[in-house]
């Protein structure tokens, strides 16, 4: 049986709920319709989140994204709708959705929406040198 679009977001238990870690997902073929012209709009979506108790299941996410294909919606509205529904499904510590819309009429649009769980504070970022300093061979 072929797959069909679905608005059902499935999740699974976070395998490491004691740790903050980032999950990065890219959706390079997101499509919806312009609500004014009916023409297709294309975007590259990037989802970054720190899970709490639930993680997104990727096949269900793919079918969810597909469900917008024939929907007429503005860039800002669909970005915020998707974020709200992802947050409702997973209740993450943090989630950011970045929607980079392909050019239309000579204009690129990027919409960024975020959610932070009340009281959650990220650990300080640790920066590591890509190439640690080598000892000098000069005297």
Backbone angles phi, psi at 108, to 5 degrees: -95, 145
b (16+ CB within 10 A) / e for 25-63: eebeebebbeeeeeeebebebbbbbbbbebbbbeebbeb
Region of 68 on the Ramachandran plot (φ > 0 left; ψ -120 to 50 alpha; else beta): alpha
Residues 99/42, Cβ–Cβ less than 8 Å = no
* Catalytic (active-site) positions: 34, 41
Show the 3-state SS of 43-56: EEEEEEEECCCEEE
The CA-to-CA distance between both ends of the chain, in Å, stands at: 72
């Amino acid at each position: 049986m072929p797959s069909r679009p679905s608005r059902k977001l499935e999740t699974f238990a976070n395998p490491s709920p004691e740790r903050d870690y980032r999950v990065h997902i890219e959706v390079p073929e997101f499509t919806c319709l312009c609500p004014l012209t009916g023409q297709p709009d294309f975007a590259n979506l990037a989802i970054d989140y720190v899970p709490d108790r639930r993680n997104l299941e990727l096949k269900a996410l793919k079918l969810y994204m597909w469900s917008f294909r024939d929907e007429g919606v503005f860039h800002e509205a669909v970005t915020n709708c998707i974020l709200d529904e992802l947050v409702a499904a997973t209740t993450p510590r943090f989630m950011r959705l970045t929607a980079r819309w392909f050019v239309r009429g000579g204009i690129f649009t990027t919409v960024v929406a975020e959610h932070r769980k009340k009281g959650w504070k990220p650990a300080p970022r640790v920066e590591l040198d890509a190439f640690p300093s080598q000892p000098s061979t000069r005297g």
